[in-house]
Each structure stands twice: as C-alpha cells, then as structure tokens.
Amino acid sequence: MKLHDVFARFKITLIISVMFIFSINPIYAAPENSPWGKDYFPNLELVNQEGKKVRFYDDLIKNKIVAINFIFTHCGDSCPAETANLRQVQKILADRMGKDIFFYSISIDPEQDTPEVLQAYAKRFNVGPGWSFLTGNQNDVTMLRMLLGLYREEIKSVSLAEHTTSFMIGNEATGQWVKRSPFDEPKALARQLGRVLSTFNAYHNSDLRTYDEAKKIPEMRKGEEKFRFRCASCHSLGKEDGIGPGLQDVTKLRNKAWLFRWLKAPDLVLAEKDPIAVELYERYNKVLMPNYKLDDAEVESLIQYMAN
Amino acid sequence: MKKIIIAYKQIRIVISQVQKNKFKLVPKILESVIVASTISASKTNSTLAVGIALVTSSLFVVTQAEAGFNIPTATVNKITGLFTPVPSPLCIAGSCATEFTAKILLFDEFGTKNLSSTNSTVTLPPVLGDCSSMPDGAALDTFLKEDLNSTPSRLANISAANAWEVKIKDCVPGVTSTVAEGRPSGEEFAHQRWDEFPAQKYFQSAQTGARDNGGLRDNRQMHGYKTGEFAKGGLYYIDVDGDGNPGTQGLKIRLHPALPVQDKNSVWTFDGTLPPKLLMAKYGEALIFRHWNALPIDVSANNGFGRHTISTHEHNGHNGAESDGFMHAYSYPGQFYDYHWPMVLAGHDSINVGALSVKTGAPDGNGGITQVPGDWHETMSTHWFHDHMMDYTAQNVYKGNAAMMNYYSAIDRGREPANLAEASGSSDKPGYGCNYADNNPISNPSSFNVNLCLPSGSGLDWGNRDYDVNLVLADKAWDTSGQLKFNIFNLDGFLGDRMTVNWEYKPYMDVRARRYRFRLLNGAVSRNFKVAVVQALTDSKGTITSYKSIPFYMIANDGNLMQHAIPFPIKTQPIDPVTKKPDPTWILSEGLPEQGIAERYDIIVDFAQVPVGGKVYLVNLLEHQNGTGPSSIRKLVDVIGVPAIKGVAATKTSPAIAAVPAVTVDGLTTNATYVADGISGDPVVGKFLEFRVQTYSGTDLSMNPVDYMETVTVAGKQVPGRQMIPVNKPTPAELKAAVQRTFAFGQSNGTDTTPWTVKTDDISGGGLAADEHRVSAAPELPILPNDLGKVEIWHIQGAGGWTHPVHVHFEEGQILKRGGVAPPIWEKYARKDVYRVGPMLDSTTSIDMAIRFREFAGTYMEHCHNTQHEDHSMLVRWDIERPGQTLRMPVPMPDWNGTTYDQSISLPTVKFGDLSAKKSFKFP
C-alpha cells in the first residue's frame, strides 16, 4: 500500500487497524484512567504531506505504537541522519508499519515545511507506508514537543539545528513511553517498537538464537563503529544503493584527497559546486550527506575501513 | 518587601541561567551578584537589583516556561504553555499531614534462613481475577513463609514452567510455553564459582503491589523485639496492630499516617509492604536472593509509571555479573530470578588466601571471628539493592523497588561492648574487643582488637541496630487523591516536592542522649542532597529561639569505612573552576558534602551534647529548580525557618510568609523569605527529620570518632589520629601499567547537541546512547588467579551545568584527582562507587579514579545514577573478560517463553582504552 493510500482511505485504515489490534493485542484493555491518555495528549490538528488534516490524539496515536520525532526539511545534518536511520527501522518492521506501528515526523518549521515540501522530502528518502510527515501551527508543535518531553528550553532560540534529535517511542494503549536517540542501532529500535512496547506474538526476529547458537563476534575494526553509527543507515559497503550510493570500491573510484574533504565537509564541497558533489546530490534525490564534524583522524579511519 | 522578593527571584533565575550556560563565569560573579542585589534590595528600593537582572537576562533568553522552579516536576499546561507544578496536597479530605508528627519507620529485616531443604509443594499464589491483578496478600505471605519451592541451581531453571503459565497463556496471546526463572539460560548467566561459594543462606521476597503488612517478617528480626531498644519499653519496640505481638503487622502503606493508603499500583515494593526492607549479611556466608516477580501480567496496569519486568542490582556488590542486575537480564511476572551473592572480600584469590588475619573475618555468633580470605581493606558496610530495568529504573525505584543491605564483618560487627572488660578485648570474646582500646593501630599486624565498636548496641553478637539506623532519603510527589505520581515525560529528571525519610513525610525519631550511627542513603530519582545537623535552642517555655550546628562525623563514604573520621561542618578549599587550583580562602561549609543519588554517607552524631528533651534536625541545603541537577546551596539561616506549605501553594504576598519571625542560626539572623512552593523555591530544602533526645542510662562505649580523625590533639600536640580502614593505594608501578579509559557524560558531537550520551575514550568522535548490545570497555581478569587484580584508571567527565552522579558497578575505586587536583579529605580517605560530576561546590567536572578487577567476570554497567538520565541512555555496558577471551558475551533478550541471545558489538578501544589520556595523564 502506498503511503498516500493510507490517508486517502483513512477510515478503512482505522477499521483495519482496530481489527488488527483486536487480533494481536492481549485481551486486556487499555487503562481507563491512564494519566497518559486523551486527557494528556491534545487532539490538535496537524496536516500531513498529503494535505490531509489529522487529529493528533484520535488519528495519530490512539491505540497505536508510534515513533515521533521533530524535524525540519532544510536541516543539514542531524535530521537526514535521523530520517535515514528510522528508514532502516521501518524496513525491519515493514510487515507491521501502518498496521499497528506508525512513525510521525513533525516539522518544527511549519512556515517553510508545507505539505508539498514534506511530500518531496518523504520521497527523497523513499519512506514506506505507515510514516507520515506532518506540519501544523507553530505553537501547537511546540506544545507537542513540550508534552513529549522533547523541548530543549535553553537552546530553543539559538537555531533550529540545535533542536533535540531524540525522539519518543510509545504505545498509547499501554501508557508506555521511552526516549530514544536517532543513532541507536536500527535493530535495537525495531525490537523496542516491535516487541518491548508491543505484544509477544507480534514479534519475530530470526536473528535471535538460543544460548548455544548465539553468535559471538570479535571486536570491531577501527572506523567500523563510526561507519556503523553514522554511515550505515544510508550506505552499504557493497554495490547496493541505499539513500546514498553503495560504497564498494569507493576508495579506488575517488581521489583520496577529494574523498577526505567530502567526508569532512560535504556541505562545503557542494557549496563550491564541485562537479562530483553536484552530480551525486542530483542523483540521490538531493539528500545531502550530513556534516558530522568529524576530525581528521576519524575521517582517516573511515577511509581505511572502507578500503578494507 | 514584595519588590525585593521579586528582584531576588529574578536574579536567582538569571543565576541559574548563568550556571547552565556559562559555568566558567559562575562562582565569583554569582557571589557578587547576590551581594549586590542583597545590598541594593535592603536599601530603599530594588532598582539596582532589577537592573542587574534585566541586563543579565538580556544575554540569555528567559521565558516564563523555563524560569523558576518546576517542582514537583510538572508537565506543560496545555492552555498556558507553562510548566505549572501542582503541590502534593498535605491535606486530603480534611486529614492533614504536618511535619514531624509521624514516627519514623525503621527498616524491617528480610531475615535470612539456612538453605537446607526445599518444599516443592508450595507454589506462587495464582493471580485471581483479570490480567491486571496481583496475588492475594495473605496467600503470598503463606507462600513466602515456606522454604524455597525449588532448589537453586547453577544454570537458570528453565525446565519448570512459569508459576502463572495458565494465566499468562490466557492474557498474552501467542505464548505457548514459559519458564520458571527469568535469569537468562545457559553458561553466560550461570552462577559463577557456584561450587566454590555454595549458598548457605537465602531469603525470598516478591515484588508486588502495595498492601497491608501481614506480619511476614515480624519473627525474622534479629533483635526479636527482645533486646535493647527493640525490647518492650525500648524506644523502637513496635506493635502496629496492638495485638500484643510486637512487629509491623497491620502497617498500611501511607506516606504519613494522615495521608491516604496507597493503591496497589501506586507502590510496588518488596513483599508489597512497609517498612522498607533491610538485608543483614555477613562476610563468608554466601546468599541466594530469590526475587519473585508478582507484578501484573498486564503491562499497562501501573497507574502511569513503572514496568512489570524487573532486574535487581546489588549496588557495589562483589558479585558475578549474572547476579549484578544487568539491565537486559530481567524477569517477567510469575517468574523468579535467583541472585547469588557470594559475600567474599575483593582480593579473595590473591591476598590473604589462607584467611590468616582476624581483620578479614565475620562474626561467628559467639564473640569470636570466623576468618575469611581476601583483602581487609576491601571490607564494605552499607549497600542497597534496587531495580535496574532498562529504560524503567527511575520509575521502578521511585515506585518502591529499593532495599538496603548492611554488610557485617569483624571490623564492622554492629556490636559495641557491653562493659569495659569487653571493650578491652577479654580473651573469651575477642570479637567484642574495641580497636580504640588497643594500643596498636588497626593497620598493625599485631593489633588484636579489630572491632571498631561503631555505635550499634550490645544485645546481639552482631547486627545490633539500636543505635545504628538506616535512613533512606527521597523526594516524592502525589496527586490530589494522595496517590504517588511520576511524570514519565520529564526526561531532564523528576523532582518530588515532599521530602520523605524511610517512606514517610518528614518524620520524627526518638533518640537516646548518646552516639548514633546513621547510614544515609540518597534513594531519590533526580535529586541530590546536602544534609546539615542542627540543634534547636529553646527558651524556658520550649519555644525555639535559635539554632546551632552541632559537630558530627562522616565515617563511611559510599558504604566503605574511611581511613579517618571526617568532622563536619568542615572548612573546605573549593577548586576554582577557571584556574583549576584550590581557592586560597578556606570557607566553612555547612553540613555534609553534596550527596548524589545512590551515594551513602555513614555519619556519627552524638546526642549527648544535646540536653534531654532537646531537638535536633536534619536539614537539606541543596536547592533544585529542575531535574538536571542542583541549582544552588542555600544557607541554613535562609531555609531553616521555611514554613510548611499546607495543601496549596503560598504566594509571595501571602500573609503567612510575611509573618515569619526572625531566625538565628549559628549567630546569623534573618527573616526567612524563602517561599518553598515549588514555583518560587524548592519545597525540599529545609528541615526534614526531627530527633527528640531522651535520657540514656547506659554508658556509651562505642567508638568516639574524634579519636579517628586525621589529626588529634594529645597533650596539646597535633598527632596523627587512629585509622579505621586505611586506603590501599595502587602502587606507582600498577598505575603506570594501568589501562586508562575516558567516559564523558553528556558530551556529544556537533550534530547531536542533546546531552544524553556517554562518549567513551576518544574513538568515535561522538557520544553514544545506551545500547545493551554494545561493549564499550573490556577489562581483563588477571592471568593467574593469585595475581593482584589489574588496575585501570578511569577518567570520568561531566559537561555544562548538569550534575551526573556516575556509578560504576561491581567494584569501588579510589579517586586520584578531582577537578585535576587532589580530592577533598572525605574522598581522599574513601573508596567510592559513585563519582559525582557537576557544577556545585563539592563537585567538579572531572574525576580520575583507579579501580581493580578481579574474581568475577561478565557484563556490567556504568551509568548516571540520576535514574531519569540513566533511563534515557546515559549508560555504558562494559564487560570483565577472562584472560585470552576473544569473543564478546552475547546479549540476552528475555521474553515470556525464555531468553534468546543476540549478537553483541564492541568498540575498537575495549581492550586498550584511551591511549592519548594514558600519554598525558599526570599521576598525583
């Protein structure tokens, strides 16, 4: 099901998800007196990337397992990384996305982030079903951030880029909410959403082993952890493209000095209209690689890691 | 006056902003701002003060939403957009709790039993009713009274089914099989050295919902309500239900006798009952703690906070990792988890292997000492154990999943002499001989009296609690109906607005006019304390006229007896945050040092210096505005007169405040203007425990801490004082060879400015959030068992204005440097397991400490003990590995049907740590 279908057929979806919840949730009911229910969350109006108006409580979170983050589309570094990482989680949870698990990326910059802009953003990241991008009244969004505990007071006026990149995952029906970081392992996030906040029988992970069969792995190589926590959500080490290109032979394909600079400050390289950078930018849906402000040694270790 | 208060408040708000944002500017500027404002305010008007406030505030954005206090930590008001704290009502339905009217609840002992037989016929009582129910209390008591219903085993018991399997299948669709024990299956979580340290004693308890105390532990108290102050006529004899049988049977869970009984899902605790529980354990007697999970099967039945899966961490126990309470080794409802606590001294394999010293011993029950192997310098005393569930520790601990644990040893026996002959060490009861009566210092091999004879009592061979009192301090909040509440969405940290001691709102305690040992535990979620001891001076009618600080002594830091007793109040030399040098001015600091969450300070207070009938108060001086950490240290004189705010918030214009009389403390007088309503001031500063001094007819033969100070005056000369447990410093060679590691709390890279991570060593360029899969450090055990444990140096760093009480599991360390210079005296002579970094006077932004790893291996943790920070990712997993081990431990994934394992990952620096720190660190 395509993303827009979910909202175009909102009522049907709702019925389906209610049925789904009946079929997989425990027979106990949501707590009537949960402090984190309809009295806590406002039912304010947001608009999704389809231009459709939705209610935060009734339509987005009620009886659902959700991940909610706050982004803005022209955010250079943290938001694309966050979006790319959530994309990985979404892949793992593909069979449940839009059924009982939903992702919401809410813009903290409603003036710029119109539904059209969000639509384009979602397409650039090739997000799948069950993930909506929302915008709304600035004060409403601020209120949501405060209620979800994701509002950083001391830096709010400095710049949007300083907004908290943490996000909340929760299950409205059981009243459980936990904060997560976008740089968590996608697998660990998927387990949180798919099992810890969810139900026993909805979760299947073929990676898990009994004690005897559990794989034990040696230490990571130098640069590997950096790659894993900062690069892997967009790039594979093989030929296969993700949000960004597959990196097989990248150290042979590209000049070392260029690669070094590109990893260190992709935003500057692009601003200089470097032809390779411009070409990559256009080819990969205008998703610019984040500037992680790596130091020289880190860049060096990454290049070494990719070379091996 | 009104204007002055407003100006003062504004300045304080600004100051807190300054502290948060530009800490380096703080101390001196802060002082001058306060002085300037006070002077100007006390003149004719407050223009200047307001001016300062406005000028300063223009540098920082201060809005209503962030200004001032947010206590109890409120959620934002949907209409106003402001955090508007609602005070926890002290009057509910016409019944009012007032301070110092509740008699303190003393801890109830779990009581251990010999592990000899099992009774396989008893089963955990079933859940009756729906999936959100818990077992009936009386049935649960009957069950817990019996012997264990299955023999503890080295490997987790997964052959039997969960006691509630039928109900679970009914409530959790898809579950087709269950296991009895929640401990992860297989070798990784098998009990280490099981045959070598066979469990001799056990106790069992069920974590379950609040209920009336059914008297389960009444006949398990060592004193038996028959000796000393616990006997009839003594100060601590109790018969709650008045049936003539002493004990706590009939006690309901209430935060004050005038407040409502807590709902079963408001409080979850051991047995589901109060008083809070205490484990009394002695060295050489290995223990099994069978912790039953009797919480609701329905995860949502929690009154808004708390998770029904639990893990139990014995805080700083020298235990195998399988019994340490790893955050991802947890039990589900209906399961149990057997924790094996071997009760061995660190150094067991390498030092004093033949158990040849009377200093490494345990009470034998009859005045003698049972010697054990190990290093006597590693003797520990005051612990606690508490929940460590991933993401839910704060909620579960706040809800009641915390107990205290006293370790007893030859040195710290809990036995003071009954008479002078015993004190001198008469031959038939050598264990009672007091070290102070021995001409040799304790460190001398020929010293024969090793018992420090700390204040305790003399009715029992060990573990007397007549004058040795566990006190857990915690701030709580409750809703309008009096039920405990917690805000799960305030991720900076949760603050309550009501101070409790041993789970009661501001209680009082009768004491004798003699020395007492108090074991103070900070059991809060996000609040640090700074505790002063103050005597009230009264006129002939008994009305308080003024206060004075009385001298008292810290004897143990983080539960470890120190080399010397430290006198308080004490003059200190704070470290200048800019120059990193000790300030040349020594300042008299009121009260104890700051006490972070999970820190334990054992103190000795001598009530003999107070007239009978007199009153002494414990006073908290540490003010918080929000959960990120303390905002300022208040002066006694400013807060001791804080009026109790009854039910509703007082306002600055309230006549009740204006009518506050002048208060004098230690000669300083003020009209207290502190408005402790949670909006203008912190309701948890001020007096919180009242001691009422009663006559003592005995002779106090307990240790006088004065003799154990760093220097003592003998015949007019300053000479070194006696020592309790000398600090056994690592040798220079060990320090030089040490692997060094750096853990930076709250730092991160440029694209993630949120302070929610720990940066390990300098490899990854950024902080990482907690992940049960990731091994960040892997110290190794020594190659030969009798090698000394390998010393490592860990650098713990904080950042910005936040406070992080960092706890390292398994082993205490020694602080080499604090803030780059020698630590203060109470840390210099201490072994610590909580390393507090932060902006306050007694904290600094860095600590360098030395720590040794030996005897046990496996997966441990290190984390911020502000449990809201811990739960939101400020936690690091590290593993102790065996020599030559090249593969990481897999990570357990517990579920209803048993545990599977997932792959671990590890940082490249796990073995060698931070090489640049190793190059640059200068040894003290």
Summarised one tens digit per residue, pLDDT across range B123-145 is 999 998 999 999 999 999 999 99
Is there a single domain that holds both residue A102 and residue A249?
A: no
Tell me what the mean pLDDT of segment A268-285 comes to.
Answer: 89
Question: Is A209 inside any structural domain?
Answer: no
The upper half-sphere exposure of residue A10, i.e. CA atoms within 13 Å in the direction of its Cβ, equals 12
Helices (H) then strands (E): counts for chain A: 12, 7
3-state secondary structure of B620: strand
Residue B176 confidence (pLDDT) = 93
**Contact B785/B918 with Cβ under 8 angstroms?**
no
For residue B648, pLDDT over 50 is answered with no
Do residue A107 and residue A252 come from a single domain? no
CB B380 within 8 A of CB B256: no
Determine how β-strand B468-476 pairs with β-strand B515-522.
parallel
- Rounded Cα–Cα distance for residues A234 and A84 (Å): 6
Report the distance separating Cα B598 and Cα B522, nearest Å: 5
Sign of CA dihedral A135, A140, A146, A147: negative
| Alpha carbon distances (Å) from B460 to B56, B119, B362, B457, B561 | 62, 30, 14, 8, 22
Please indicate, yes or no, whether residues A239 and A299 belong to a single structural domain of this protein: yes
Q: What is the pLDDT of residue A219?
A: 56
State the Cα–Cα distance between residues A231 and A302, nearest whole angstrom. 10
Question: Residues of A with CB below 8 A from B900's CB?
Answer: 208-210, 214
| Chain A: residue whose CA lies nearest to B64 | A153
* Residue A182 with chain B: CB contacts under 8 Å: 752
CATH of the domain at A167: 3.40.30.10
- Is B408's pLDDT higher than 90? yes
pLDDT in tens, B703-735: 999 999 999 998 999 999 999 999 999 999 999
Tell me the pLDDT band of A235, cut-offs 50, 70 and 90: confident
| Percent of chain B whose predicted confidence (pLDDT) is above 90 | 69
- C-alpha angle B710/B714/B718, rounded to 5°? 50
pLDDT at B202 over 60: yes
* Residue A269 domain flag: yes
**Cα(A251)–Cα(A271) distance, rounded to whole angstroms?**
23
User: What is the Cα–Cα distance from B433 to B440, expressed in whole angstroms?
Assistant: 13
* Residues A194 and A230 grouped into a single domain: no
Question: How confident is residue A153, by pLDDT bands cut at 50, 70 and 90?
Answer: low
Same domain, A57 and A185: yes
Is the N-terminal amide bond of B275 cis, ω within 30° of 0? yes
ipTM above 0.95, yes or no: no
Residue B109 confidence class, pLDDT cut points 50, 70, 90: very high
Same domain, yes or no, for A230 and A197?
Answer: no
Q: Per-residue pLDDT tens for B738-761?
A: 999 999 887 553 333 444 577 777
Q: Coil, strand or helix: which one is B168?
A: helix
Residues forming a β-bridge with B875: B863
Of B614 and A152, more confident: B614
In this predicted structure, the answer to whether residue A183 has a pLDDT above a threshold of 90 is no
Q: If you average pLDDT over residues A153-158, what whole number do you get?
A: 43
* B897, amino acid identity: N
Q: Do A156 and A27 belong together in one domain?
A: yes
**CA dihedral in degrees (A255, A258, A261, A265; nearest 10)?**
-120
Please provide the distance, in angstroms rounded to a whole number, between the alpha carbons at the two ends of chain A.
Answer: 40
Measure the CA–CA gap between B399 and B83, rounded to whole angstroms.
23
Q: Are both A197 and A228 inside the same structural domain?
A: no
Do A156 and A249 lie in a common domain?
no
* pLDDT (tens digit per residue) in B881-899: 988 787 888 999 999 999 9
- The CA distances from residue A4 to A8, A66, A129, B466, in Å, are 6, 18, 8, 72
How many domains does chain A fold into?
A: 2
A229 plus A198 within the same structural domain: no
Q: Which residue of A has its CA nearest to B189?
A: A211
Reduced to 3 states (helix: H, G, I; strand: E, B; else coil), residue B32 is helix
Least CB–CB distance from A26: residue in B81, B173, B765: B173
> Across the interface, do B172 and A199 touch by the CB < 8 Å criterion?
yes
Q: What is the pLDDT of residue B84?
A: 85
pLDDT digits (tens, 9 = 90+) for B482-537: 999 999 998 888 999 999 999 999 999 999 999 999 999 999 999 999 999 999 99
Calpha distance B454→B350 (Å, rounded):
29
Indicate the DSSP class of residue B768. B
Burial bucket for residue A12 (CB in 10 Å: 0-12, 13-18, 19+): exposed
The Cα–Cα gap between B757 and B873 comes to 6
Answer for the pair B436, B703: CB distance below 8 angstroms, yes or no.
Answer: yes
Flag if A78 and B751 touch (Cβ within 8 Å). yes
SS3 for B375-406, per residue?
CHHHCCCEEEEEECCCCCHHHHHHHCCEEEEE
Our CA angle for B823, B827, B830, nearest 5°, is 140
How far apart (Å, rounded) are the C-alpha atoms in residues B142 and B123?
Answer: 10
The string of pLDDT tens digits covering residues B423-441 is 998 778 999 999 999 988 8
Domain that holds residue A191: 3-202
What is chain B's mean pLDDT, rounded?
Answer: 87
Look at residue B28 in the predicted model and tell me its pLDDT.
29
Helix (H) or strand (E) holding B42: helix B26-42
Question: Cβ A214–B890 below 8 Å, yes or no?
Answer: yes
Residue to substitute from B62, B172, B479, B754, interface A, most A β-carbons within 10 A: B754
Q: Is the pLDDT of residue B159 over 90?
A: yes
At B718 the three-state DSSP class reads strand
- A57 and A184, same domain (yes or no): yes
Per-residue pLDDT, A9: 41
Q: Among residues A175, A105, A172, A149, which one has the least CA distance to residue B756?
A: A149
Q: How far is Cα of residue B625 from the mean position of the Cα atoms in its chain?
A: 21
With CA atoms as reference, report the closest residue to B166 among B157, B155, B175: B175
Q: Do B756 and A181 touch (CB under 8 A)?
A: yes
Q: CB under 8 Å to A271, separation ≥6 — which residues?
A: none
A151-165, B326-340, B813-827: the lowest-pLDDT one: A151-165
Give the distance from residue A161's alpha carbon to the nearest chain B alpha carbon, in angstroms: 8
Q: Residue B801 to residues B21, B27, B483: CA-CA distances in angstroms?
A: 7, 12, 33
Are residues A255 and A147 located together in one domain of the fold? no
pLDDT over threshold 50, residue B215? yes
Return the number of other C-beta atoms located less than 10 Å from residue A172's C-beta: 22
Q: Do B768 and A183 count as a contact with CB atoms less than 8 A apart?
A: yes
Q: Which two tokens stand for residue B74?
A: 């409120």
What's the mean pLDDT in A265-280? 90
DSSP state of B537: E
Answer whether residue B8 shows pLDDT above 60: no
> Of residues B44 and B481, which shows the higher confidence score?
B481
**Cβ count within 10 A of residue B116:** 8
pLDDT band for B99, please (50, 70, 90 cuts).
Answer: very high
- pLDDT of residue A16 exceeding 70, the answer is no
Bridge partners, B878 (sequence order): B777, B860
Q: Which residues of A touch B187 (CB under 8 A)?
A: 211
Decide which of B666 and B152 is more confident: B152
Query: What distance in Å separates the CA atoms of residue B170 and residue B148, rounded to the nearest whole number?
Result: 27
Tell me whether residue A175 is in a domain: yes
Is there a contact between A147 and B901 if contact means CB atoms under 8 Å apart?
Answer: no
Percent pLDDT > 70 in chain B is: 88
Last residue of a domain, one of A202, A233, A267: A202
Q: For position B64, what pLDDT does the model report?
A: 33
- pLDDT per residue as tens digits for the range A17-43: 433 443 444 444 455 667 899 999 999
Encoded tokens for B120: 């396989």
User: What pLDDT score was predicted for residue B27?
Assistant: 30
- The Cα-based distances of B699 to A287, A304, B514 in angstroms read 80, 75, 9
Terminal-to-terminal C-alpha distance of chain B:
51
Convert the pLDDT of each residue in B243-295 to its tens digit.
999 999 999 999 999 999 999 999 999 999 999 999 999 999 999 999 999 99
Assigned token pair, B448: 């024969």
CA distance B773 to A199: 22
Q: Which residue of A has its CA nearest to B908?
A: A220
Taking an 8 Å cut-off on Cβ atoms, the answer to whether B174 and A201 are in contact is yes
pLDDT value for A77: 67
Task: Give pLDDT, residue B605.
Answer: 98
Which residues in B lie closer than 8 A to residue A166 (C-beta atoms)?
491, 754, 756, 872
Which whole number is the average pLDDT over A288-292? 81
Amino acid at B235: L
Residue A263 CB-density burial (10 A; 0-12 exposed, 13-18 middle, 19+ buried): buried
Q: Give the CA dihedral A148, A152, A153, A157, nearest 10 degrees.
A: -120
The CATH number given to whatever domain includes residue A237 is 1.10.760.10
Answer yes or no: is A271 within a domain.
Answer: yes
Q: Is A42 exposed, middle or buried (0-12, 13-18, 19+ CB in 10 A)?
A: middle
The tally of CA atoms less than 13 A away on the side-chain side of residue B201 is 17
Q: Of B36, B506, B467, give the one whose Cα is nearest residue B258.
A: B506
Q: What is the pTM of this model?
A: 0.87
CA-based nearest residue in chain A for residue B772? A188
Instruction: Compute the average pLDDT of residues B802-815.
Output: 93
Give the A:B interface size as CB pairs under 8 Å.
227
The band of A164, judged by pLDDT with boundaries at 50, 70 and 90, is low
Beta carbons of B905 and A220 less than 8 Å apart: yes
Cβ–Cβ < 8 Å for B550, B533: yes
Q: Answer whether residue A136 is part of any domain.
A: yes
Q: What is the amino acid identity at position B618?
A: L
Number of Cβ within 10 Å of residue B355's Cβ equals 16
Instruction: Write the DSSP string, B119-153.
Output: -TT--PPPPPSSTT----HHHHHHHHHSPPSS---
Say whether pLDDT at B83 is over 90: no
Query: How many of the other CB atoms lie within 10 Å of CB of A167?
Result: 26
Q: Is residue A218 part of a domain?
A: no
* Strand order, beta sheet including B875-880: B834-837, B804-808, B858-864, B875-880, B774-777, B905-906
pLDDT for the residue numbered B882? 87
Query: What is the helix, strand, coil percentage profile of chain A, to 5?
Result: 40, 15, 45
Instruction: For each of the domains in chain B, give its residue range(s) and CATH number, in order of start.
Output: 732-920 (2.60.40.420)
User: Residue B881 and residue B189: Cα distance in Å, rounded?
Assistant: 14
